């Protein structure tokens, strides 16, 4: 006997990802009874009603994803494993998947070099509306795609891994049964950058998956030509290192890139958790190589991008300036791809958005669940309805990743000179179609003045008829020498901070700046322990690394767990041109 919810409706409520409302899950009960009507077993689970389709886009030459009949632009992150020591928990899964939701991503790819996660992982993806791209356990690194002198076996031997093919297939069957009821599970994939050996692949494609779950599209491997095919010929992935923000807007990548990434170190509070005190020095200072500790933690160099903000005076200063680079880097990555959606691209998956240990690359939040500016660069750059501006040519755009049309909106552009005060330079009324990108005008041409460089800061706002800000985006641009000289000259700002307990588990923080002063730039809000000054983790912020304009007030909601006592907590703030401060919670 199966007790199902009443779905005999004109339109049943659908499990709905992609920022179009909370996903809806039904409670379903499976009850097994014997001939006497006695209960033998009962299972309760959550189920979602949805349809996921794929279609080849002839224009982009890549796979396109549709959920419930609506095409969606894939903004994804690569996931390794929740914990390298397999200390897996529902609480950690929930926090990590929530961070991905907060980054406005709509897909997580589980990398084939790791493992299938536990049911609690898929439960969290169901809950937060995140699609799952599930690799099986093959990887080009181990399975012979490349020559590797460090490996004992040759490529052909490694190509036949694992030793026991029947055990591998039995494991696939077991894992498919575990995860197939989750609405978040969208795709299966044979492996990372290489398909399984032919006999395994044939049985998976022709027998095992059709028998156990014929409802998901199967990619033979993560960058197969059936995913995308670029103009040069074939598919691929990368790059994986820091790039100029212009790069992501101007350089055409693979039409559905399964791995493209960059830097991602945290600030000094994060580094102090796992870098020994004697190694807490600026990595690579004076042209030397980073020491063995930094290399062990997979540090990727920031090249000259930090020095563009001024020569760092300490590791704290270096790490704070790295957050500016982090924010700008990942905002540009996702905006540059979104700017060309349905033209160059149908999706992109970032390498990577999660670390199972204390690694320093592709880190949106550290192993201890402390977010950094990478997360908030994506939070803004990937928001469903988003106003943005190309750093290459200054073109102002609005991208709409939702299925809703928007009417009576105003795009407003302000410039901010070195004095830190905004000035309106242009505004236009507009309509925005669903799942679209719309170009308007070149901001740089509007903000240029004869004989002067463009304004160093540009603020774009998208507001409705009630003057409510639906999307806001502040850019800071380098001078002709590639340096952020205006930031280095920005006057000190006064910022007022207030924190009140809104209700159990939530704190409302208000940041305000006097009308006659300069903007307060790039402020990080933290919930900290009063006695130690250390951040309380995990905590979730509605926004962070916030800039506040003169005469403006902004609010940040902090959500914390029931195990945290506010008696021992306070709110701290640190910013580019403000004094650090800590305040009590009212």
Looking at the annotation, which residues are catalytic?
A: 193, 259
- Sequence-ordered list of residues with C-beta below 8 angstroms from that of 554, at least 6 positions apart, any chain: 510, 511, 512, 543, 546, 548
**Peptide linkage before 162 cis (omega within 30 of 0):** yes
Strand pairing of 256-260 and 347-350?
parallel
Dihedral, CA of residue 517, residue 372, residue 336 and residue 237, to nearest 10: 160
Interior angle at CA 482, CA 475 and CA 547, nearest 5: 25
CB-based contact 479:309 (threshold 8 Å): no
Q: How distant is the alpha carbon of residue 195 from its chain centre? A: 27
CB-based contact 495:513 (threshold 8 Å): yes
DSSP state of 279: G
Nearest one of 450, 473, 491 to 543, comparing CA atoms: 473
Question: What's the helix, strand, coil split of the chain in %, to 5?
Answer: 20, 30, 50
159 backbone dihedrals φ, ψ, rounded to 5°:
-65, -25
CB-based contact 79:353 (threshold 8 Å): yes
Cα–Cα distance measured from residue 302 to residue 323, given in angstroms and rounded to the nearest whole number = 11
Nearest one of 499, 521, 531 to 574, comparing CA atoms: 521
Joined tokens for residue 276: 């020994």
Joined tokens for residue 491: 């006057």
Looking at beta carbons, which pairs linking 234-239 to residues 24 or more positions away fall under 8 Å?
A: 237/193, 237/351, 238/351
- Sequence-ordered list of residues with C-beta below 8 angstroms from that of 394, at least 6 positions apart, any chain: 442, 443, 444, 445, 454
Cα–Cα distance measured from residue 528 to residue 296, given in angstroms and rounded to the nearest whole number = 29
- Sequence-ordered list of residues with C-beta below 8 angstroms from that of 146, at least 6 positions apart, any chain: 140, 155
Number of H helices, E strands in the chain: 13, 28
Per this entry, what is the length of the chain? 586
């Amino acid at each position: 006997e199966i007790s199902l919810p009443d779905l005999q409706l004109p339109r049943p409520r659908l499990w709905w990802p992609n920022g179009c409302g909370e996903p809806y899950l039904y409670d379903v009960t499976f009850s097994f009874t014997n001939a006497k009507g006695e209960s033998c077993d009962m299972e309760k689970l959550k189920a979602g009603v949805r349809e996921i389709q794929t279609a080849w886009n002839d224009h982009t030459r890549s796979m396109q994803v549709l959920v419930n009949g609506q095409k969606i632009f894939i903004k994804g992150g690569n996931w390794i494993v929740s914990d390298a020591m397999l200390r897996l928990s529902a609480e950690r899964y929930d926090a990590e998947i929530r961070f991905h939701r907060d980054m406005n991503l709509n897909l997580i790819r589980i990398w084939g070099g790791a493992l299938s996660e536990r049911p609690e992982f898929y439960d969290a993806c169901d809950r937060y509306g995140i699609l799952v791209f599930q690799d099986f356990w093959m990887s080009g690194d181990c399975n012979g795609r490349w020559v590797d002198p460090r490996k004992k076996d040759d490529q052909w031997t490694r190509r036949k891994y694992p030793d026991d093919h029947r055990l591998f297939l039995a494991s696939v069957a077991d894992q498919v049964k575990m995860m197939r009821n989750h609405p978040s599970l969208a795709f299966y994939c044979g492996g990372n950058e290489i398909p399984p050996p032919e006999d395994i692949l044939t049985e998976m494609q022709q027998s095992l998956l059709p028998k156990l779950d014929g409802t998901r599209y199967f990619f033979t491997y993560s960058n197969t030509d059936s995913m995308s095919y670029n103009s040069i010929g074939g598919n691929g992935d990368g790059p994986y290192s820091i790039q100029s923000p212009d790069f992501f807007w101007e350089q055409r990548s693979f039409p559905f890139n399964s791995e493209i990434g960059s830097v991602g170190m945290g600030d000094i509070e994060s580094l102090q958790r796992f870098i020994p005190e004697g190694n807490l020095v600026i990595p690579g200072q004076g042209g030397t190589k980073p020491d063995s500790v930094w290399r062990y933690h997979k540090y990727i160099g920031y090249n000259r991008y930090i020095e563009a903000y001024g020569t760092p005076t300490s590791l704290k200063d270096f790490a704070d300036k790295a957050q500016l680079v982090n924010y700008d880097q990942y905002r540009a990555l996702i905006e540059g791809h979104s700017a060309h959606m349905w033209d160059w691209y149908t999706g992109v998956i970032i390498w990577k958005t999660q670390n199972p240990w204390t690694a320093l690359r592709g880190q949106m939040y550290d192993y201890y669940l402390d977010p950094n500016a990478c997360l908030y660069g994506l939070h803004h750059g990937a928001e469903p309805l988003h106003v943005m501006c190309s750093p290459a040519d200054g073109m102002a755009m609005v991208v709409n990743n939702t299925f809703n049309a928007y009417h009576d909106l105003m795009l407003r552009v302000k410039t901010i000179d070195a004095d830190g005060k905004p000035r309106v330079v242009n505004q236009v009324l507009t309509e925005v179609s669903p799942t679209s990108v719309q170009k308007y005008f070149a901001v740089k041409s509007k903000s240029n003045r004869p004989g002067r460089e463009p304004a160093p800061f540009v603020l774009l706002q998208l507001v409705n008829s009630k003057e409510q800000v639906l999307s806001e985006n502040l850019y800071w641009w380098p001078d002709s020498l590639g340096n952020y000289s205006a930031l280095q000259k920005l006057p000190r700002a006064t910022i007022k901070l207030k924190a009140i307990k809104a209700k159990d588990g939530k704190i409302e923080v208000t940041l305000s700046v006097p009308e006659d002063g300069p903007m307060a730039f790039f402020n990080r809000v933290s919930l900290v322990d009063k006695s130690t000054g250390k951040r309380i983790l995990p905590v979730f912020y509605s926004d962070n690394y916030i800039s506040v304009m003169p005469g403006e007030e902004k609010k940040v909601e902090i959500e914390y767990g029931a195990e945290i006592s506010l008696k021992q907590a306070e709110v701290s703030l640190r910013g580019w041109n403000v004094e650090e401060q800590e305040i009590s919670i009212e």
